[in-house]
Amino acid sequence: MNDILLIGKHYPAGVDFRAHNMGKMIMASTSKRDMAHAQEFGRRELLRNGIVAGASMVAWHAGLSPSLAQTATIANKDVLSLQERAAALGIEVQAPNITKSLTGTGHLELRTLADLVDSALAKSSGAADDAEKLAADAGELLSKLNRMVRPPRREGEAKGKAKPFAQLKGEYRKMFETCQPDPKHLSELQAWVTKLSSTSSRKRYGDLEAVTKVPWHVIAVIHYRECSANFMGHLHNGDPIAKKTVNVPAARPDPWNPPPSPWNPVTAWQASGIDAFTYDGLANQVDWGLELTLYRLEAYNGFGTRNHGAIPNYLWNFSKFPVRGGYDSDGHWNPNYLSSQCGAAVLMKLLANQGLISV
């Protein structure tokens, strides 16, 4: 097992420690009841999925601060290995930074791993060469870390009961017009906007738009929310594209035999995207006005958060709106949950402010 970087502390492989000790380390303040709940949940995850999962579940279940769920654990040696392989192939990519977040915890910038995937795919000449293998491995690691950022959905309550569009239309317009990105996150958000609107990203989003009729910027914000902009991840939920999805929606695409043969990860990502948007009813829609776009984005994630009376973090996180509450890793509602991702509507507002889209 790789060494693990946990909240700025380094633990050698093979160290025997339990999830309740992790909980004591990472939980600065919470009630005794929540502490016990988080620790017990972490123990179960530790036994089922190992140290990395156990530590991250503790953070999620406690409803801790935005970047903490994303960075509760980092497989440090895996990241360093990817950097070394990229250098050997002559791929210039910014090293994934481990910086201090707003909470003082170790923070891995997932965007730099997404950059590594893109650079490796661009370097690849096909036929499963070393660059393509690097893209696959970087993408798989990014999918695992993305799962720390984005807890799995469930078909049931997390999807929730949809409200009629007519009841929400005015709300969407009003909130979008008054939406202001949180200044604390502005530099991070600008970096994501730059990535999502880059020439290479725009081309791939544009190619998918040509087939599905889903606007490029809608594809972009879904790609960010579901995959951390990983072009080796399914747009359904961020799972690696080399296999069918495991998390909800599971076993997609069905059948999964992306053209052409042999395997082509670029074509596979597009084929997966076509399936994702067809499965969720986004493909071949005609009206992509602002209000309907936001309604469809919320539906893509599910109305469960709204059903609990909370502002949907999928749309409005990292804005001035008070967003708290969501579904954590085991699919149950946590009123203290804080997402570590920017809301899709907030990203759209930044794209609009920069004249990249018209809404």
331/155 Cα distance (integer angstroms): 9
Q: Among residues of the chain, what percentage have pLDDT more than 70?
A: 71
Q: What is the pTM of this model?
A: 0.79
Residue 270 pLDDT greater than 80, yes or no: yes
How many residues belong to the chain? 359
227-263, pLDDT tens digit by residue? Answer: 999 999 999 999 999 999 999 899 999 999 877 778 8
Q: Residue 81 has which token pair?
A: 């290995």
Q: What is the pLDDT of residue 339?
A: 86
pLDDT confidence of residue 33: 47
Quick check: 40 pLDDT over 80?
A: no
List the chain domain ranges. Answer: 4-71, 75-149, 165-353
- pLDDT at position 108: 55
* Cross-strand pairs, 6: 9
Q: Is residue 209 within 8 Å of residue 198, measured between CB atoms? A: no
pLDDT, residue 355, reads: 96
pLDDT at 284 over 60: yes
| Whether 72 contacts 39, CB under 8 Å | no
Task: Say how many C-beta atoms besides its own lie within 10 A of residue 14's C-beta.
Answer: 7
Q: What is the pLDDT of residue 159?
A: 67
The pLDDT value recorded for residue 20 is 35
pLDDT, tens digit, 9 for 90 and up, residues 42-94 = 444 433 443 344 444 434 333 433 343 344 345 567 888 898 999 999 998 76
Flag the least confident range among 93-107, 167-181, 267-281, 334-348. Answer: 93-107
Residue 41 has what pLDDT? 44
**pLDDT above 60 for 154:** yes
Average pLDDT across the chain, whole number? 78
d(CA 181, CA 328): 24
User: Which residues are within 8 A (CB) of 118 and not within 5 positions of it... i.e. 6 or more apart?
Assistant: 200, 201, 231
User: Residue 318 is encoded by which pair of tokens?
Assistant: 């990292």
